[in-house]
Structure 1
Protein backbone atom coordinates (compact mmCIF):
# COMPACT_ATOMS: atom_id res chain seq x y z
CA UNK A 1 0.00 0.00 0.00
CA UNK A 2 1.40 3.39 -0.93
CA UNK A 3 1.27 6.29 1.47
CA UNK A 4 -2.04 8.10 0.94
CA UNK A 5 -2.61 11.71 0.04
CA UNK A 6 -5.70 13.78 0.71
CA UNK A 7 -7.49 14.05 -2.61
CA UNK A 8 -10.26 16.59 -2.97
CA UNK A 9 -13.40 15.31 -4.62
CA UNK A 10 -17.02 15.95 -3.97
CA UNK A 11 -20.55 16.34 -5.17
CA UNK A 12 -21.49 19.60 -3.51
CA UNK A 13 -19.79 22.99 -3.64
CA UNK A 14 -18.02 24.37 -0.59
CA UNK A 15 -17.41 27.91 0.63
CA UNK A 16 -15.82 30.17 -1.95
CA UNK A 17 -13.26 31.68 0.42
CA UNK A 18 -11.18 30.07 3.13
CA UNK A 19 -7.92 31.01 4.84
CA UNK A 20 -4.67 29.80 3.28
CA UNK A 21 -1.12 29.93 4.62
CA UNK A 22 2.38 29.50 3.26
CA UNK A 23 5.38 27.55 4.46
CA UNK A 24 6.29 27.85 8.13
CA UNK A 25 8.74 26.14 10.49
CA UNK A 26 6.73 24.37 13.17
CA UNK A 27 8.09 23.22 16.51
CA UNK A 28 6.81 19.88 17.76
CA UNK A 29 5.19 20.56 21.14
CA UNK A 30 3.79 17.10 21.79
CA UNK A 31 3.96 13.53 20.51
CA UNK A 32 1.50 10.77 21.45
CA UNK A 33 0.73 7.31 20.07
CA UNK A 34 -3.00 6.95 20.81
CA UNK A 35 -3.65 3.95 18.56
CA UNK A 36 -1.43 1.15 17.23
CA UNK A 37 0.54 2.35 14.23
CA UNK A 38 -0.35 6.03 14.51
CA UNK A 39 1.02 9.23 15.96
CA UNK A 40 -0.66 12.40 17.17
CA UNK A 41 1.47 15.52 16.73
CA UNK A 42 0.90 18.88 18.41
CA UNK A 43 2.63 21.66 16.51
CA UNK A 44 3.47 25.20 17.52
CA UNK A 45 3.38 27.23 14.29
CA UNK A 46 4.55 30.85 14.56
CA UNK A 47 2.40 33.51 12.89
CA UNK A 48 -0.01 30.84 11.72
CA UNK A 49 -3.26 31.65 9.97
CA UNK A 50 -6.23 30.19 11.84
CA UNK A 51 -7.77 27.28 9.95
CA UNK A 52 -11.38 26.36 9.38
CA UNK A 53 -12.53 22.92 10.57
CA UNK A 54 -11.99 20.52 7.67
CA UNK A 55 -8.77 22.06 6.34
CA UNK A 56 -5.39 20.33 6.24
CA UNK A 57 -1.63 20.93 6.35
CA UNK A 58 1.25 19.66 4.23
CA UNK A 59 4.30 18.32 6.06
CA UNK A 60 7.56 18.33 4.06
CA UNK A 61 10.71 16.38 4.86
CA UNK A 62 14.10 17.07 3.28
CA UNK A 63 16.84 14.42 3.27
CA UNK A 64 20.56 15.15 3.58
CA UNK A 65 20.97 14.65 -0.18
CA UNK A 66 18.25 17.23 -0.87
CA UNK A 67 15.47 14.76 -1.70
CA UNK A 68 12.09 16.02 -0.55
CA UNK A 69 8.87 14.21 0.25
CA UNK A 70 5.62 15.70 1.49
CA UNK A 71 2.17 14.52 2.49
CA UNK A 72 -1.09 16.19 3.50
CA UNK A 73 -2.78 15.60 6.87
CA UNK A 74 -6.13 16.81 8.16
CA UNK A 75 -6.21 19.07 11.20
CA UNK A 76 -7.87 17.60 14.29
CA UNK A 77 -7.65 20.69 16.48
CA UNK A 78 -10.22 23.46 16.66
CA UNK A 79 -9.31 26.91 15.31
CA UNK A 80 -9.32 28.17 18.90
CA UNK A 81 -6.53 25.79 19.92
CA UNK A 82 -3.16 27.55 20.19
CA UNK A 83 -1.51 24.44 18.69
CA UNK A 84 -2.22 22.55 15.46
CA UNK A 85 -2.94 18.86 15.98
CA UNK A 86 -2.31 16.29 13.24
CA UNK A 87 -3.09 12.57 13.35
CA UNK A 88 -0.81 10.44 11.16
CA UNK A 89 -1.21 6.75 10.34
CA UNK A 90 2.11 4.95 10.02
CA UNK A 91 2.53 3.04 6.75
CA UNK A 92 5.48 0.70 6.44
CA UNK A 93 6.44 1.78 2.92
CA UNK A 94 5.55 5.44 3.39
CA UNK A 95 8.08 8.20 2.79
CA UNK A 96 6.81 10.55 5.49
CA UNK A 97 4.65 8.75 8.06
CA UNK A 98 7.34 6.39 9.46
CA UNK A 99 9.59 9.36 10.22
CA UNK A 100 6.77 11.26 11.89
CA UNK A 101 5.68 8.22 13.90
CA UNK A 102 9.08 6.77 14.87
CA UNK A 103 11.62 9.58 14.84
CA UNK A 104 10.02 12.94 15.61
CA UNK A 105 10.30 14.09 19.22
CA UNK A 106 9.13 17.18 21.13
CA UNK A 107 11.35 20.11 20.28
CA UNK A 108 12.01 18.97 16.70
CA UNK A 109 11.16 21.29 13.84
CA UNK A 110 9.11 20.47 10.75
CA UNK A 111 8.38 22.33 7.53
CA UNK A 112 4.63 22.76 7.16
CA UNK A 113 2.27 24.61 4.85
CA UNK A 114 -1.30 25.47 5.61
CA UNK A 115 -4.08 25.75 6.19
CA UNK A 116 -5.16 24.37 2.82
CA UNK A 117 -8.58 23.59 1.37
CA UNK A 118 -11.65 25.70 0.81
CA UNK A 119 -14.62 23.45 0.20
CA UNK A 120 -14.49 20.58 2.75
CA UNK A 121 -14.95 22.98 5.63
CA UNK A 122 -17.69 23.54 8.20
CA UNK A 123 -18.81 27.10 8.92
CA UNK A 124 -19.86 26.45 12.52
CA UNK A 125 -23.43 27.52 11.77
CA UNK A 126 -25.00 24.94 9.45
CA UNK A 127 -26.39 21.54 10.47
CA UNK A 128 -24.15 18.74 9.24
CA UNK A 129 -23.92 14.96 9.08
CA UNK A 130 -20.33 13.73 9.38
CA UNK A 131 -19.54 10.27 7.98
CA UNK A 132 -15.99 9.05 8.49
CA UNK A 133 -14.07 5.85 7.92
CA UNK A 134 -10.87 5.03 9.82
CA UNK A 135 -8.53 8.03 9.94
CA UNK A 136 -11.13 9.87 7.87
CA UNK A 137 -12.69 10.88 11.20
CA UNK A 138 -9.81 13.31 11.88
CA UNK A 139 -11.23 16.47 10.23
CA UNK A 140 -14.49 15.82 12.06
CA UNK A 141 -12.69 16.18 15.37
CA UNK A 142 -11.85 19.76 14.40
CA UNK A 143 -15.52 20.33 13.60
CA UNK A 144 -16.69 18.71 16.84
CA UNK A 145 -14.21 20.62 18.98
CA UNK A 146 -15.13 23.90 17.29
CA UNK A 147 -18.82 23.13 17.88
CA UNK A 148 -18.09 22.59 21.57
CA UNK A 149 -16.39 25.97 21.79
CA UNK A 150 -19.39 27.59 20.14
CA UNK A 151 -21.86 25.67 22.28
CA UNK A 152 -23.44 24.24 19.11
CA UNK A 153 -22.80 20.51 19.20
CA UNK A 154 -26.50 20.14 18.42
CA UNK A 155 -25.66 21.05 14.81
CA UNK A 156 -23.59 17.91 14.27
CA UNK A 157 -24.55 14.29 13.82
CA UNK A 158 -21.71 11.81 13.45
CA UNK A 159 -21.36 8.29 12.05
CA UNK A 160 -17.94 6.61 11.99
CA UNK A 161 -16.68 3.24 10.80
CA UNK A 162 -13.57 1.30 11.82
CA UNK A 163 -12.31 -2.27 11.73
CA UNK A 164 -12.02 -2.43 15.54
CA UNK A 165 -12.55 0.00 18.38
CA UNK A 166 -8.85 0.16 19.28
CA UNK A 167 -8.08 1.24 15.70
CA UNK A 168 -10.61 4.08 15.73
CA UNK A 169 -8.88 7.45 16.19
CA UNK A 170 -10.30 9.58 19.01
CA UNK A 171 -12.70 6.78 19.97
CA UNK A 172 -13.49 8.09 23.48
CA UNK A 173 -14.12 11.62 22.26
CA UNK A 174 -16.45 10.32 19.55
CA UNK A 175 -18.29 8.15 22.08
CA UNK A 176 -18.75 11.13 24.38
CA UNK A 177 -20.20 13.06 21.44
CA UNK A 178 -22.82 10.36 20.89
CA UNK A 179 -21.46 9.28 17.52
CA UNK A 180 -22.87 6.23 15.79
CA UNK A 181 -19.90 3.84 15.88
CA UNK A 182 -19.83 1.01 13.33
CA UNK A 183 -17.19 -1.73 13.59
CA UNK A 184 -16.65 -4.16 10.74
CA UNK A 185 -14.51 -6.79 12.52
CA UNK A 186 -16.03 -6.97 16.00
CA UNK A 187 -19.40 -6.29 17.65
CA UNK A 188 -20.02 -3.00 19.40
CA UNK A 189 -22.79 -2.76 21.97
CA UNK A 190 -25.78 -4.61 20.59
CA UNK A 191 -24.62 -4.16 16.99
CA UNK A 192 -22.97 -7.10 15.23
CA UNK A 193 -19.86 -6.55 13.16
CA UNK A 194 -21.02 -5.17 9.80
CA UNK A 195 -20.49 -2.33 7.38
CA UNK A 196 -22.33 0.97 7.67
CA UNK A 197 -25.90 0.63 6.42
CA UNK A 198 -28.24 3.00 4.64
CA UNK A 199 -30.91 2.79 7.33
CA UNK A 200 -28.39 3.99 9.90
CA UNK A 201 -27.59 7.07 7.85
CA UNK A 202 -31.26 7.66 7.09
CA UNK A 203 -31.92 7.99 10.82
CA UNK A 204 -29.28 10.74 11.10
CA UNK A 205 -29.95 12.83 8.02
CA UNK A 206 -32.75 15.29 7.43
CA UNK A 207 -33.37 17.87 4.68
CA UNK A 208 -31.13 20.91 4.95
CA UNK A 209 -28.30 18.98 6.64
CA UNK A 210 -25.08 18.92 4.61
CA UNK A 211 -23.29 15.56 4.57
CA UNK A 212 -19.50 15.40 4.84
CA UNK A 213 -17.78 12.12 3.93
CA UNK A 214 -14.10 11.39 4.61
CA UNK A 215 -12.11 8.18 4.30
CA UNK A 216 -10.40 5.90 1.83
CA UNK A 217 -11.49 6.09 -1.80
CA UNK A 218 -13.43 2.86 -1.36
CA UNK A 219 -15.17 4.01 1.83
CA UNK A 220 -15.94 7.46 0.40
CA UNK A 221 -17.54 5.99 -2.68
CA UNK A 222 -19.64 3.50 -0.72
CA UNK A 223 -20.76 6.02 1.91
CA UNK A 224 -21.63 8.63 -0.72
CA UNK A 225 -23.75 6.10 -2.57
CA UNK A 226 -25.56 5.18 0.65
CA UNK A 227 -26.34 8.85 1.22
CA UNK A 228 -27.69 9.27 -2.29
CA UNK A 229 -29.78 6.12 -1.88
CA UNK A 230 -31.42 7.47 1.29
CA UNK A 231 -32.34 10.71 -0.42
CA UNK A 232 -29.47 13.12 0.18
CA UNK A 233 -29.18 15.36 -2.91
CA UNK A 234 -25.87 15.46 -4.76
CA UNK A 235 -25.38 19.12 -3.94
CA UNK A 236 -25.69 18.30 -0.24
CA UNK A 237 -22.69 15.93 -0.14
CA UNK A 238 -19.03 16.93 0.24
CA UNK A 239 -16.35 14.28 -0.03
CA UNK A 240 -12.71 14.11 1.03
CA UNK A 241 -10.94 10.90 0.16
CA UNK A 242 -7.53 9.38 0.64
CA UNK A 243 -5.77 7.99 -2.41
CA UNK A 244 -2.33 6.71 -3.35
CA UNK A 245 0.38 9.32 -3.69
CA UNK A 246 1.96 10.02 -7.02
CA UNK A 247 5.46 9.16 -5.80
Structure 2
Protein backbone atom coordinates (compact mmCIF):
# COMPACT_ATOMS: atom_id res chain seq x y z
CA UNK A 1 0.00 0.00 0.00
CA UNK A 2 1.24 3.51 -0.85
CA UNK A 3 1.03 6.54 1.41
CA UNK A 4 1.23 10.29 0.78
CA UNK A 5 3.86 12.24 2.69
CA UNK A 6 3.69 16.03 2.98
CA UNK A 7 7.14 17.60 3.32
CA UNK A 8 6.84 21.08 4.84
CA UNK A 9 9.94 23.25 4.52
CA UNK A 10 11.15 26.18 6.65
CA UNK A 11 10.18 28.75 4.01
CA UNK A 12 6.54 27.62 3.97
CA UNK A 13 6.70 25.55 0.79
CA UNK A 14 5.04 22.13 0.93
CA UNK A 15 5.76 19.26 -1.46
CA UNK A 16 4.10 15.87 -1.50
CA UNK A 17 5.70 12.51 -2.28
CA UNK A 18 4.26 9.02 -2.50
CA UNK A 19 5.92 6.23 -0.55
CA UNK A 20 5.45 2.69 -1.78
CA UNK A 21 5.36 -0.39 0.48
CA UNK A 22 8.48 -0.58 2.66
CA UNK A 23 9.95 2.52 0.95
CA UNK A 24 11.67 5.08 3.15
CA UNK A 25 10.65 8.73 3.02
CA UNK A 26 14.16 9.67 1.90
CA UNK A 27 14.07 7.23 -1.02
CA UNK A 28 10.65 8.46 -2.14
CA UNK A 29 11.81 12.08 -1.85
CA UNK A 30 14.93 11.55 -3.93
CA UNK A 31 12.89 9.64 -6.50
CA UNK A 32 10.73 12.80 -6.75
CA UNK A 33 13.94 14.91 -7.10
CA UNK A 34 13.52 16.52 -3.70
CA UNK A 35 16.90 16.58 -1.98
CA UNK A 36 16.08 16.63 1.71
CA UNK A 37 19.15 17.00 4.00
CA UNK A 38 20.97 13.68 4.04
CA UNK A 39 24.49 12.37 4.62
CA UNK A 40 24.73 8.73 5.63
CA UNK A 41 21.43 7.00 4.70
CA UNK A 42 22.25 4.51 7.47
CA UNK A 43 20.64 6.13 10.54
CA UNK A 44 24.05 7.09 11.90
CA UNK A 45 24.49 10.84 11.41
CA UNK A 46 21.12 12.42 12.26
CA UNK A 47 21.42 14.98 9.43
CA UNK A 48 17.91 14.24 8.13
CA UNK A 49 16.22 14.36 11.55
CA UNK A 50 12.71 15.76 11.07
CA UNK A 51 9.56 16.23 13.14
CA UNK A 52 6.57 14.09 12.21
CA UNK A 53 3.49 16.21 12.96
CA UNK A 54 0.89 13.70 11.87
CA UNK A 55 0.65 10.02 11.00
CA UNK A 56 2.10 6.63 11.91
CA UNK A 57 5.40 5.12 10.82
CA UNK A 58 8.07 2.54 11.55
CA UNK A 59 11.13 4.46 12.69
CA UNK A 60 13.57 1.85 11.36
CA UNK A 61 17.09 1.21 12.66
CA UNK A 62 19.40 3.95 13.90
CA UNK A 63 21.94 4.66 16.60
CA UNK A 64 21.38 6.72 19.76
CA UNK A 65 23.75 9.46 18.59
CA UNK A 66 21.56 10.06 15.53
CA UNK A 67 18.22 10.09 17.36
CA UNK A 68 17.76 9.85 21.12
CA UNK A 69 14.86 8.06 22.79
CA UNK A 70 13.62 11.42 24.07
CA UNK A 71 13.60 12.90 20.56
CA UNK A 72 11.81 9.84 19.20
CA UNK A 73 9.17 10.20 21.92
CA UNK A 74 8.66 13.84 20.85
CA UNK A 75 7.89 12.73 17.29
CA UNK A 76 11.27 13.16 15.62
CA UNK A 77 12.34 10.55 13.09
CA UNK A 78 14.98 9.91 10.45
CA UNK A 79 13.54 10.01 6.90
CA UNK A 80 16.38 7.78 5.72
CA UNK A 81 15.04 5.02 7.97
CA UNK A 82 11.34 5.71 8.50
CA UNK A 83 8.67 3.90 6.46
CA UNK A 84 5.10 5.26 6.61
CA UNK A 85 2.22 3.24 7.99
CA UNK A 86 -0.28 6.02 7.13
CA UNK A 87 -0.20 9.39 5.39
CA UNK A 88 2.35 11.67 7.09
CA UNK A 89 3.12 15.34 7.59
CA UNK A 90 6.85 15.80 8.08
CA UNK A 91 8.55 19.11 8.98
CA UNK A 92 11.90 19.24 7.16
CA UNK A 93 14.69 21.33 8.82
CA UNK A 94 15.69 23.08 5.58
CA UNK A 95 14.36 25.51 3.00
CA UNK A 96 12.85 24.33 -0.27
CA UNK A 97 15.74 26.02 -2.06
CA UNK A 98 18.25 23.97 -0.09
CA UNK A 99 16.28 20.86 -1.05
CA UNK A 100 16.41 21.97 -4.69
CA UNK A 101 12.65 22.07 -5.06
CA UNK A 102 9.99 24.75 -5.39
CA UNK A 103 6.26 25.29 -5.20
CA UNK A 104 4.41 24.10 -8.29
CA UNK A 105 2.40 26.38 -10.58
CA UNK A 106 -1.07 25.18 -11.61
CA UNK A 107 -3.33 26.45 -14.39
CA UNK A 108 -7.07 26.48 -13.84
CA UNK A 109 -10.44 27.69 -15.09
CA UNK A 110 -12.76 29.98 -13.15
CA UNK A 111 -15.98 27.97 -12.83
CA UNK A 112 -17.98 29.86 -10.19
CA UNK A 113 -18.19 33.34 -8.71
CA UNK A 114 -20.55 34.02 -5.81
CA UNK A 115 -21.16 37.30 -4.02
CA UNK A 116 -21.74 36.19 -0.44
CA UNK A 117 -22.32 39.68 0.96
CA UNK A 118 -21.66 43.34 0.17
CA UNK A 119 -18.06 42.82 1.20
CA UNK A 120 -17.19 39.20 0.44
CA UNK A 121 -16.92 37.13 -2.73
CA UNK A 122 -16.21 33.43 -3.15
CA UNK A 123 -14.61 32.08 -6.29
CA UNK A 124 -14.02 28.51 -7.41
CA UNK A 125 -11.37 27.16 -9.75
CA UNK A 126 -11.10 23.88 -11.62
CA UNK A 127 -7.39 23.02 -11.89
CA UNK A 128 -6.19 21.39 -15.10
CA UNK A 129 -4.10 19.00 -13.01
CA UNK A 130 -6.26 18.44 -9.94
CA UNK A 131 -4.75 15.01 -9.33
CA UNK A 132 -1.31 16.62 -9.04
CA UNK A 133 -2.49 19.32 -6.62
CA UNK A 134 -2.19 18.28 -2.97
CA UNK A 135 -2.42 20.61 0.02
CA UNK A 136 -2.95 20.55 3.75
CA UNK A 137 -6.18 22.10 5.08
CA UNK A 138 -5.30 25.66 6.12
CA UNK A 139 -2.60 26.33 3.49
CA UNK A 140 -2.67 29.02 0.83
CA UNK A 141 -1.58 29.71 -2.75
CA UNK A 142 -0.41 32.77 -4.65
CA UNK A 143 -2.99 33.62 -7.31
CA UNK A 144 -2.05 35.57 -10.45
CA UNK A 145 -4.67 38.29 -10.95
CA UNK A 146 -5.83 38.12 -14.60
CA UNK A 147 -4.98 41.16 -16.66
CA UNK A 148 -2.31 42.35 -14.21
CA UNK A 149 1.26 41.52 -13.27
CA UNK A 150 0.46 41.05 -9.57
CA UNK A 151 -0.35 38.07 -7.38
CA UNK A 152 -2.43 37.82 -4.25
CA UNK A 153 -2.37 35.12 -1.56
CA UNK A 154 -5.54 33.25 -0.61
CA UNK A 155 -6.17 30.29 1.66
CA UNK A 156 -8.19 27.37 0.38
CA UNK A 157 -11.71 27.39 1.81
CA UNK A 158 -12.36 23.97 0.27
CA UNK A 159 -11.09 20.65 1.56
CA UNK A 160 -8.10 18.80 0.07
CA UNK A 161 -10.26 15.98 -1.31
CA UNK A 162 -12.71 18.14 -3.28
CA UNK A 163 -12.46 18.17 -7.07
CA UNK A 164 -12.50 21.96 -7.32
CA UNK A 165 -10.80 24.53 -5.11
CA UNK A 166 -12.47 27.58 -3.57
CA UNK A 167 -11.41 30.81 -1.89
CA UNK A 168 -12.93 33.78 -0.02
CA UNK A 169 -12.04 37.39 -0.86
CA UNK A 170 -12.92 40.55 1.01
CA UNK A 171 -13.67 43.27 -1.52
CA UNK A 172 -11.65 46.46 -1.14
CA UNK A 173 -11.88 49.73 -3.03
CA UNK A 174 -8.56 49.58 -4.85
CA UNK A 175 -7.63 45.91 -4.51
CA UNK A 176 -6.25 44.23 -7.64
CA UNK A 177 -8.18 41.00 -7.11
CA UNK A 178 -11.24 42.91 -5.87
CA UNK A 179 -11.30 44.94 -9.08
CA UNK A 180 -11.01 41.84 -11.21
CA UNK A 181 -13.73 39.91 -9.38
CA UNK A 182 -16.05 42.91 -9.21
CA UNK A 183 -15.68 44.24 -12.75
CA UNK A 184 -14.18 41.70 -15.18
CA UNK A 185 -14.36 38.12 -13.96
CA UNK A 186 -16.30 35.66 -16.09
CA UNK A 187 -16.67 31.87 -15.87
CA UNK A 188 -14.17 30.34 -18.25
CA UNK A 189 -11.37 32.80 -17.38
CA UNK A 190 -7.96 31.20 -17.08
CA UNK A 191 -6.18 31.71 -13.75
CA UNK A 192 -2.76 30.46 -12.61
CA UNK A 193 -1.76 29.93 -9.01
CA UNK A 194 1.37 28.72 -7.22
CA UNK A 195 1.57 26.61 -4.08
CA UNK A 196 0.65 25.21 -1.66
CA UNK A 197 2.44 27.26 0.98
CA UNK A 198 2.27 28.06 4.67
CA UNK A 199 2.80 26.42 8.04
CA UNK A 200 -0.77 27.18 9.16
CA UNK A 201 -2.48 23.85 8.63
CA UNK A 202 -4.48 21.32 10.60
CA UNK A 203 -2.44 18.91 12.71
CA UNK A 204 -3.71 15.63 14.10
CA UNK A 205 -6.47 16.27 16.66
CA UNK A 206 -4.90 14.80 19.81
CA UNK A 207 -6.69 17.08 22.30
CA UNK A 208 -9.52 19.66 22.19
CA UNK A 209 -9.04 22.30 19.49
CA UNK A 210 -10.09 25.95 19.38
CA UNK A 211 -10.45 27.65 15.97
CA UNK A 212 -10.65 31.46 15.91
CA UNK A 213 -11.39 33.45 12.74
CA UNK A 214 -11.54 37.14 11.94
CA UNK A 215 -13.31 38.14 8.71
CA UNK A 216 -12.22 36.10 5.70
CA UNK A 217 -9.74 34.40 8.02
CA UNK A 218 -12.63 31.94 8.16
CA UNK A 219 -11.46 30.46 4.83
CA UNK A 220 -8.66 28.15 6.04
CA UNK A 221 -10.78 27.05 9.00
CA UNK A 222 -13.53 25.97 6.58
CA UNK A 223 -10.93 23.85 4.82
CA UNK A 224 -10.00 22.29 8.16
CA UNK A 225 -13.66 21.57 8.95
CA UNK A 226 -14.12 19.91 5.56
CA UNK A 227 -11.25 17.60 6.45
CA UNK A 228 -12.76 16.85 9.88
CA UNK A 229 -16.10 16.08 8.23
CA UNK A 230 -14.43 13.17 6.45
CA UNK A 231 -12.20 12.17 9.37
CA UNK A 232 -14.21 12.82 12.57
CA UNK A 233 -12.05 13.97 15.51
CA UNK A 234 -11.89 12.11 18.80
CA UNK A 235 -11.86 15.39 20.75
CA UNK A 236 -14.18 18.42 20.78
CA UNK A 237 -13.55 21.30 18.37
CA UNK A 238 -14.97 24.79 18.95
CA UNK A 239 -14.89 27.69 16.47
CA UNK A 240 -15.50 31.39 17.07
CA UNK A 241 -15.95 33.64 14.02
CA UNK A 242 -15.81 37.42 14.41
CA UNK A 243 -16.55 40.24 11.95
CA UNK A 244 -16.70 44.03 12.02
CA UNK A 245 -20.30 44.37 10.79
CA UNK A 246 -23.34 42.20 10.14
CA UNK A 247 -22.83 42.56 6.39
CA UNK A 248 -19.47 40.76 6.72
CA UNK A 249 -20.98 37.52 8.07
CA UNK A 250 -20.76 34.69 5.55
CA UNK A 251 -20.93 30.90 5.45
CA UNK A 252 -22.98 30.57 8.65
CA UNK A 253 -25.04 27.89 6.90
CA UNK A 254 -21.86 25.94 6.21
CA UNK A 255 -20.89 26.12 9.89
CA UNK A 256 -24.33 24.80 10.85
CA UNK A 257 -23.92 21.95 8.37
CA UNK A 258 -20.53 21.03 9.83
CA UNK A 259 -21.98 21.10 13.35
CA UNK A 260 -24.52 18.53 12.19
CA UNK A 261 -21.95 16.07 10.82
CA UNK A 262 -18.76 16.54 12.89
CA UNK A 263 -19.03 14.92 16.34
CA UNK A 264 -18.18 17.38 19.11
CA UNK A 265 -17.99 20.42 16.82
CA UNK A 266 -19.60 23.63 18.08
CA UNK A 267 -19.36 27.24 16.93
CA UNK A 268 -20.25 30.82 17.80
CA UNK A 269 -19.98 34.16 16.03
CA UNK A 270 -19.75 37.77 17.08
CA UNK A 271 -20.01 41.25 15.52
CA UNK A 272 -18.02 44.33 16.52
CA UNK A 273 -16.09 42.53 19.23
CA UNK A 274 -13.02 40.36 19.43
CA UNK A 275 -13.54 36.62 19.40
CA UNK A 276 -11.96 36.49 22.87
CA UNK A 277 -15.23 37.86 24.25
CA UNK A 278 -16.90 34.57 23.38
CA UNK A 279 -14.34 32.29 25.00
CA UNK A 280 -15.23 30.32 28.10
CA UNK A 281 -12.90 28.39 30.45
CA UNK A 282 -14.12 25.09 29.00
CA UNK A 283 -12.89 26.14 25.56
CA UNK A 284 -9.36 26.62 26.94
CA UNK A 285 -9.36 23.30 28.83
CA UNK A 286 -6.75 24.52 31.36
CA UNK A 287 -4.26 24.90 28.51
CA UNK A 288 -4.59 21.36 27.17
CA UNK A 289 -5.86 22.72 23.87
CA UNK A 290 -4.55 23.36 20.35
CA UNK A 291 -5.40 26.88 19.18
CA UNK A 292 -5.64 27.97 15.53
CA UNK A 293 -6.05 31.72 14.90
CA UNK A 294 -6.49 33.39 11.50
CA UNK A 295 -7.28 37.06 11.03
CA UNK A 296 -5.87 40.60 10.93
CA UNK A 297 -2.74 41.20 13.08
CA UNK A 298 -4.59 43.14 15.85
CA UNK A 299 -7.02 40.27 16.33
CA UNK A 300 -4.28 37.65 16.46
CA UNK A 301 -2.35 39.69 19.03
CA UNK A 302 -5.51 40.26 21.06
CA UNK A 303 -5.97 36.48 21.31
CA UNK A 304 -2.36 36.05 22.38
CA UNK A 305 -2.76 38.76 25.05
CA UNK A 306 -6.05 37.29 26.28
CA UNK A 307 -4.52 33.87 26.79
CA UNK A 308 -1.62 35.43 28.70
CA UNK A 309 -4.04 37.36 30.91
CA UNK A 310 -5.91 34.15 31.66
CA UNK A 311 -2.64 32.44 32.56
CA UNK A 312 -3.23 29.87 29.82
CA UNK A 313 -0.42 28.43 27.73
CA UNK A 314 -1.95 26.27 24.95
CA UNK A 315 -0.30 23.00 24.03
CA UNK A 316 0.08 24.47 20.53
CA UNK A 317 -0.67 27.95 19.19
CA UNK A 318 -0.85 28.21 15.40
CA UNK A 319 -1.44 31.62 13.80
CA UNK A 320 -1.94 33.18 10.39
CA UNK A 321 -1.93 36.97 10.15
CA UNK A 322 -3.07 38.70 6.99
CA UNK A 323 -3.38 42.20 5.61
CA UNK A 324 -6.86 43.01 4.24
CA UNK A 325 -5.28 45.12 1.47
CA UNK A 326 -4.18 41.95 -0.29
CA UNK A 327 -0.46 42.06 0.46
CA UNK A 328 1.26 39.37 2.49
CA UNK A 329 1.77 40.34 6.10
CA UNK A 330 4.08 38.76 8.63
CA UNK A 331 3.85 34.97 8.38
CA UNK A 332 0.36 34.81 6.97
CA UNK A 333 -1.54 34.87 3.74
CA UNK A 334 -3.42 37.90 2.51
CA UNK A 335 -7.07 37.72 1.59
> Is the 1:124–1:147 contact (alpha carbons within 8 Å) kept by the matching residues of 2?
no
Residues 202-243 of structure 1 deviation map (CA, whole Å, 9 limit, x = unaligned): 331223321011111111111221123223326621111112
Shift of the 59–219 alpha-carbon distance from structure 1 to 2, 3 Å rule, reads same
Gaps of 5+ in 1: 1-7, 9-13, 185-193
Matched, 1:116 2:215: no
* Separation in 2, partners of 1:108, 1:199: 41
Residues 171-201 of structure 1 deviation map (CA, whole Å, 9 limit, x = unaligned): 22224433121122xxxxxxxxx44345724
Structure number with larger C-alpha Rg? 2
Gaps of 5+ in 2: 1-11, 13-52, 54-89, 97-101, 260-265, 329-335
More displaced 10-residue stretch of structure 1: 165-174 or 197-206: 197-206
Shift of the 199–87 alpha-carbon distance from structure 1 to 2, 3 Å rule, reads closer
* Separation in 1, partners of 2:256, 2:146: 38
* Separation in 2, partners of 1:151, 1:200: 23
More displaced 10-residue stretch of structure 1: 228-237 or 69-78: 228-237
Structure 1 residue ranges (4+ consecutive) displaced by more than 6 angstroms after TM superposition: none
Match of 2:282 in 1: 203
Shift of the 230–101 alpha-carbon distance from structure 1 to 2, 3 Å rule, reads farther
Q: Match for 1:240 among 320, 324, 330?
A: 320
Instruction: Give how far 1:26 is off.
Output: 1.0
Match of 1:11 in 2: none
* Separation in 2, partners of 1:59, 1:45: 12
Match of 1:226 in 2: 306
Match of 1:22 in 2: 104
TM-score, scaled relative to structure 1: 0.79
Matched, 1:103 2:187: no
Relative contact order higher in (CA < 8 Å, ≥ 6 apart):
1
* Separation in 2, partners of 1:211, 1:159: 11
* Separation in 1, partners of 2:234, 2:225: 7
TM-score, scaled relative to structure 2: 0.59
Give the secondary structure class of the aligned counterpart of 1:77.
coil
> Is the 2:143–2:192 contact (alpha carbons within 8 Å) kept by the matching residues of 1?
yes
How many residues get paired? 220
Match of 2:293 in 1: 213
> Is the 2:146–2:191 contact (alpha carbons within 8 Å) kept by the matching residues of 1?
no
* Mapping 1:26-175, distance limit 5 Å: 26-47=108-129, 48-61=132-145, 63=147, 68-117=149-198, 119-126=199-206, 127-152=208-233, 154-175=235-256
Instruction: Give how far 1:116 is off.
Output: 1.1
* Separation in 2, partners of 1:77, 1:153: 22
More displaced 10-residue stretch of structure 1: 213-222 or 202-211: 202-211
Residues 1-41 of structure 1 deviation map (CA, whole Å, 9 limit, x = unaligned): xxxxxxx9xxxxx86259x7411111112111112122211
* Separation in 2, partners of 1:218, 1:139: 18
Q: How large is the RMSD of aligned CA atoms in angstroms?
A: 2.6
* Separation in 2, partners of 1:199, 1:86: 26
* Mapping 1:184-199, distance limit 5 Å: 184=272, 194-197=273-276
Shift of the 201–54 alpha-carbon distance from structure 1 to 2, 3 Å rule, reads farther
